[in-house]
Amino acid sequence: MANEKIILGIDPGTTIMGFGLIKVVGKKMEFIQMNELLLQKYSDPYTKLKLIFERTIELIDTYHPDEIAIEAPFFGKNVQSMLKLGRAQGVAMAAGLSRQIPITEYLPKKIKMAITGNGNASKEQVAKMLQSVLGLKTLPKNLDATDGLAAAVCHFYNEGRVEVGKSYSGWGSFVKQNSPPTPKGGVKNSLQVNLRKNKK
């Protein structure tokens, strides 16, 4: 029997969170579903984060994905937007990590490149390519759902490749990969060296 697994792709956002699911059977992928979580009507940023967490948990508990692919926030000029996106991404990741599901981050350019062969492709080009590859009858009005689906498909295409993006298998892995490096020789040694210098 061919290996089967389900990949959940997420395009995090505090206005719209797009998501899509695919089933991988051997070396073929099948479309399961895509949708979006609309958050425009909520003014409180913490309510939005709570809803992102709850919806991600609901998707996990309903579809039991084996892996999660998530679009990493791009570095833009607007710091406030970056912070909001980072929070949305972090909350979605926390939901996955709380269920012990491996997570891989992909930069937007990497996802576009995997789907269309062009890292600067538009949302529409990505959506049209997904429609063709997965045999989708219609496309959603907002293309955040297809962006989420694109993350899942990108993960499928990158399977088995080294250095596909940052991957986390659980909280321990996440903390380890995102902690600042310890100074050479550890913290204690560096303090002792400084104290000796001060005495001279």
Catalytic residue annotation: 11, 71, 144
H-helix or E-strand containing 193? helix 186-199
Asked if 87 contacts 14 with a C-beta cutoff of 8 angstroms, the reply is yes
Structure-token match 């994905």, residue found: 65
Tell me whether residue 144 is annotated as binding: yes
Alpha-carbon gap, residue 76 to 162, rounded angstroms: 27
Interatomic CA distance for residues 61 and 111, integer angstroms: 26
In the sheet that holds 4-11, the strands lie side by side as 28-38, 16-25, 4-11, 67-71, 103-106, 167-168
Closest CA to 106 of 1, 187, 12: 12
The binding site comprises 11, 71, 144
The binding site for Mg(2+) comprises 11, 71, 144
